[in-house]
Structures are given as C-alpha cells and as structure tokens.
Structure 1
Amino acid sequence: MCHYILDTVAHPYVFYIGGKYIKTQPNTYRYKGFHRKIESGIDYLLLEEYFGLKANKFKIHKNILKNKTVANSILKLYEYSLYNTYHIKHGGKIFSDSYSQFRNYFILTFDSFGLKKLIAKVIAPILPKGIVGFVDSCSYYKCADPNFDYLNLSKSVWRHPVTGHKYYLNFFEILDLAYASISEILVELNNVFYGQNHDDISKLYDMIPNYSYSSGLDVSDRRPFKYAIF
C-alpha cells in the first residue's frame, strides 16, 4: 500500500522528467530506460541524504531482502488473494518465484566498484535490443549525474505528464504528500484491526484511491501521456 501511494504521487514527476516508454508507440522509444535511470538516481541521492550511505555499497539482498525464501503464511495469503480477486491459480508459487528472481537481480547487479557496469557497457553491442537501453541503469555505481537536478531542488516548474498542470514541488515535498496520504490510510487500517468499530471497513475502502500508479489519476481517465521535459 505504501509503495502504491508513493507511486501515484511521485510517478507524474518521474514520467515528466524521464518520459514514458510505450512499446507499441515508436515516438516514445527515445524514453526507453530513462524511467529506471531517473529512479536509480533518486534512490542514490535519498539513501545518501537520509542514511549517509552510498547506494553502490548498500547490499539490498543483505539489508532489505534478507530472507532467501518467503514465509509460508505470506505465500498462502497470495494464493488466496490472487485466486479470489483475479482467478489466478498458484499465486503462492508465482509470488515465491518473483521474490527469488527479484532478490537474485540485486545480487547480480551489486556493483561496489563499477566493474559490472563497465562490463555491461563493453558487451552492450552484442546484447539483445530489448535490454540494451537498460545497461546504464543496471548498476547503482555512479548512477546519479551530478549535473542533473533529480530532486528538483531548484524548484523548477514541471508539468503533470497527462494534464499539463504546472508544479514547483521538489522531491522531498512530493514525499511529504505521499507520507500524509498513506498515514491517514494506515491509521484507519489500524482502526479496522484494533479499533472499537473493527468490523466496519467501509471508511477504509473509501480512503483507498483507485488511481493509476503511473499518472496518479483515476484509472478511468484514459488520456495519453503527452508532456515530458524532452
């Protein structure tokens, strides 16, 4: 839920400065890989700002994704939820496999000294076209360009990629908006589990938005992405 709310609030900014690549639209091919580059740069700077850590020295598979396997209780949750919501069978196995692959990705791309990034660039000409655009963002080593204002600390104007509305928020202010939104939801979620009216979840349902995680607009809004910084 926290990740979802953050995406709905932050992605409009990210898609404005990095564009939105859509496989079926050739005019968006120039944006391929930029979303990952932008988010890697933001991750790098935030990790340094809040924790004083270098992203290329931080082992995600050791500090966040510590467990090699997922607890059986969680697998049962996904088995039940995916089937009863989307009629997808074997949800537990799907989640287990996804977790393992996700964790292995961070093991494979951990690049303290930039050697893996260098190797990836050298072999880029022989890599499949589908992944060449992601070579620069496969490693956190020097992934933040010092000449680019990832966090919009300059408070420059940026536009919502769909509506074109103008904003001057920096990324810390965007995070504050996400924190405020998710805090209200989590308080109500706590009330559902532990409050006096724990059987009444109607208010919680009303608080959880049905927003696109890409545009931050209601999912019924099908307008295209048309504003980007380049």
Structure 2
Amino acid sequence: MPNIATHGLLAQDVLDNAPFTRLARLIERYPKAYFLGSNGPDILFYYHSLPWQSKAGADRFNVMGNLVHSQKIDEFYRKAIEIIQATPQGETRQLMTVYLAGHLTHWSLDTVAHPYIFYKTGAIQGATKYWHFRLESMIDTLMVKQTKGYLLSKFDMPSLVKVDETTKEAIAKLYRPILSEVFDQDASEEELKECVTSIHTLATYLYDPYTIKFPLVQLGESLLGMKWKFSGHIVAGKMDLKRDVLNLNHATWKHPCDGTKVSDESFIDLYHSAIRRATGVLCALNDVLFKDNIV
C-alpha cells in the first residue's frame, strides 16, 4: 500500500477532475473526512501503535486491518452503503458518505499499485520485513515532487489525517457494524476513535521533511539492534535518486501472484490508472447515494 501522502495526492487529483458533481460538492464541504478516508483500513493498524502505549489490543486491530484489506471487499462496501442509507439525514450521514468516498480512492490505488510494491519488496516478513514500508515512505517523498513539483517540506502530510471529534464519531459509527457483521470482529466506538487519533499523532512523528529525525532514529536502532523498525516508516525529505524507485526507466516487473503477468509500467503509470479507477467508482457511488436526491 502506498503511504499517507500518495493516497492523499491521488484523492485530491480525483476530486480536481470530478464528474460526480453532487458527491464532489459534499466532499468539498468535508475535505478532512475525505482525506482521512483515503487511508482506507490502514487506520486500524494504528491502535496503540505509539511506543509508550500499552500493546493490549494492538494485535486484535492488526488482525482486523489485514482482514479488511484482504477479504470480503464487496461485502465491506455494500454494508457501508447500507449503513449510510439507514442513517438519518444530517451531518453524520454526510461525513460517512465523504469518508467512504475517500476509502474507495484508497482501494483504487492499492489494487493497482500493490503488485508493483510487493514485487519490489517481497513479503512483509523475515529479512525483507521493513523493505515494504521503506519503499512506501520513499514513494511518498518522490510523488510529492513528481506530481506537485515541490519538496516534502511544502506538503503538510499530517494534516491529511487530522479530523475533529464529530468526524471521528461518524467514522466509528460506520466502521463498528461493518467489523461486527461482515468480519465478526468486535471494536468499540472509543477504540475506533483512538485509531483515528493515533494515525495523526504517528504521522506527525514520522513526517521528517528536513531529514533530521531519520539519521537520529537510525543511530538509535543500530545501538538497539532494531534496524529499520521505526526509521522504515519515516517519510523523509531527502530523495533516493540512486534507485529507480518509481520505475521511471520502465524496467520489466512481474505480478507477484502470477508470473505470467509482466509489465514495464512506472509507478506514475499505475497512479494514473488508479485515478481513472477511482473516478469511475466514485461516479457509481454518486449514482447510488443520490438516486433519490438524498444524503
């Protein structure tokens, strides 16, 4: 999965060229919910993720995050739409709708980009465990420059996942019944709100536009024998120009689940494919939710 910045960039690019007029107007009213939604189920991985927090329950939420990423995708979105349609008209329903729109942009980019990411980094285990996160973080740094033309220091990444309490409550009310009824997983609304709080807190710590934190954290990791455990997640301003991270030279790569599927697409190519996919999906969501002129 690409990281916070890349998902946010894609969500903005989809909105900038939106043919889904009514949904777009609603997103413009609640942009924070939309950008948080662009992180999809990743928020579940952030429960009690800060080093000083108790790890009680963290494994349970990691399981939920993996389930939502990999199973019952159609059921997830059907249930989300069902919940929205059953929610009385008003701000909570509107926030749920906008959040779901962002969530669908996350799905769009993950489905297109995951094969490339996993081909480059292997499984998230063993000696290559942190390669996945390191690649995602560098993709964030490079994509800000590639798509917007400016350095990471000009891009406020943590703001993409900062929302108010009303938005947190709406998201928790949307997620809780989905987790319970679709995945048979129990999570309280307070726990889900904690996930949203933690993703912003951790994003603030991991945002390193001037590459000051990264070398210091790496030094600490070396002393503790924990190489890449934390630094692998840091989004640093210094760009890796030695490696062709975005495959701009169009080297051949294979789908990690099917070696017969060969591609030379760059990450930029994949990104634009994801924009087209997300635009189509949000047009469909617009048609479903506004067919009776209500949300």
* Superposition TM-score, scaled by structure 2 size: 0.57
- The equivalent residue for 1:13 is 116
**1:50 pairs with 143, 147, 158, which one?**
147
Alignment of 1:154-173 (within 5 A): 154-164=249-259, 165-173=261-269
Contact kept in structure 1, 2:168 and 2:196, CA below 8 Å = no
Quote the Cα distance in structure 2 between the aligned partners of 1:65 and 1:96: 12
Quote the Cα distance in structure 1 between the aligned partners of 2:224 and 2:266: 36
Quote the Cα distance in structure 2 between the aligned partners of 1:136 and 1:106: 13
Cα root mean square deviation, aligned:
2.5
CA separation of 1:46/1:112 partners in 2, compared to 1, >3 Å: closer, same or farther?
closer
CA deviations on 1:28-85 (whole Å, 9 max, x unpaired) are x231211111111111111112223322553322x31232544422222223322232
Quote the Cα distance in structure 2 between the aligned partners of 1:41 and 1:56: 14
CA deviations on 1:189-222 (whole Å, 9 max, x unpaired) are 1111123799xxxxxxxxxxxxxxxxxxxxxxxx
Higher helix share: 2
Name the larger-Rg structure. 1
Contact kept in structure 1, 2:144 and 2:155, CA below 8 Å = no
Alignment of 1:132-171 (within 5 A): 132-142=227-237, 144-164=239-259, 165-171=261-267
Quote the Cα distance in structure 2 between the aligned partners of 1:55 and 1:134: 22
- Partner SS for 2:162: coil
**Any stretches of 5+ residues in structure 2 without a counterpart?**
1-103
Quote the Cα distance in structure 2 between the aligned partners of 1:56 and 1:127: 30
Alignment of 1:1-230 (within 5 A): 1-22=104-125, 29-56=126-153, 58-61=155-158, 63-67=159-163, 69=165, 70-127=167-224, 129=226, 132-142=227-237, 144-164=239-259, 165-195=261-291
CA separation of 1:4/1:116 partners in 2, compared to 1, >3 Å: closer, same or farther?
same
Q: Partner amino acid for 1:102?
A: I
**Any stretches of 5+ residues in structure 1 without a counterpart?**
23-28, 199-230
Quote the Cα distance in structure 1 between the aligned partners of 2:233 and 2:186: 32
CA deviations on 1:151-204 (whole Å, 9 max, x unpaired) are 111111111112112111111211222222222222121111123799xxxxxx
How many residues are treated as equivalent by the alignment? Answer: 189
Quote the Cα distance in structure 1 between the aligned partners of 2:153 and 2:232: 12
What is the percent sequence identity of the aligned residues? Answer: 25
Quote the Cα distance in structure 1 between the aligned partners of 2:164 and 2:225: 29
- Partner SS for 1:166: strand
Quote the Cα distance in structure 2 between the aligned partners of 1:30 and 1:115: 26
* Superposition TM-score, scaled by structure 1 size: 0.72
Quote the Cα distance in structure 1 between the aligned partners of 2:207 and 2:153: 7
Contact kept in structure 1, 2:109 and 2:271, CA below 8 Å = yes
Q: Partner amino acid for 2:253?
A: W
- Partner SS for 1:151: coil
- Per the TM alignment, residue 141 of structure 1 is displaced from its structure 2 partner at its CA by 2.3
* Poorly superposed stretches of 4+, deviation over 4 Å: none
Quote the Cα distance in structure 1 between the aligned partners of 2:288 and 2:210: 48
